[in-house]
Amino acid sequence: MTGFTEEFVERLLRAAEAARANAHAPYSEFSVGAAVLDEDGAIHVGCNVENASFGLSVCAERNAVAASVAAGGRGLAALVVITPARPPASPCGACRQVLAEFGDFPVLLANPDGERRMTSVSELLPDAFDRSVLESS
């Protein structure tokens, strides 16, 4: 991740992996963990929580963002997402939109096999619907 030491990136990866271990994914068996770094340097984690009513399932990324906001965070500086997919999977569209609410920042996609892909919120969701759209109306 740009501007972060490898040691710090590893710390974020470990936090995301620990959250992934707690995922509730009995239907898809696709456990996901996420760790967000807030603007104050605190790490907040989330995991996916599935529901028998599939539409009520919540992704790891959104849970991590919610944990950050609940702790008083308002800005995000980085996100790490770890999935079992090869290559590492990227966030769904709903998560991309939620991430865009907090600006453009680095996103590291990873899997337990050590594969990594660096991207950013703006690369994941170009031309995002954001507050500027609402302000221009």
Dihedral Cα 37, 39, 44, 49, nearest 10 deg:
-90
What is the DSSP secondary-structure string of 26-37? Answer: TTT----EEEEE
Q: How far apart are the first and last CA of the chain?
A: 36
- The three-state secondary structure class of 11 is helix
61 is catalytic: yes
List the catalytic residue out of 10, 29, 50, 61: 61
Catalytic site residues? 61
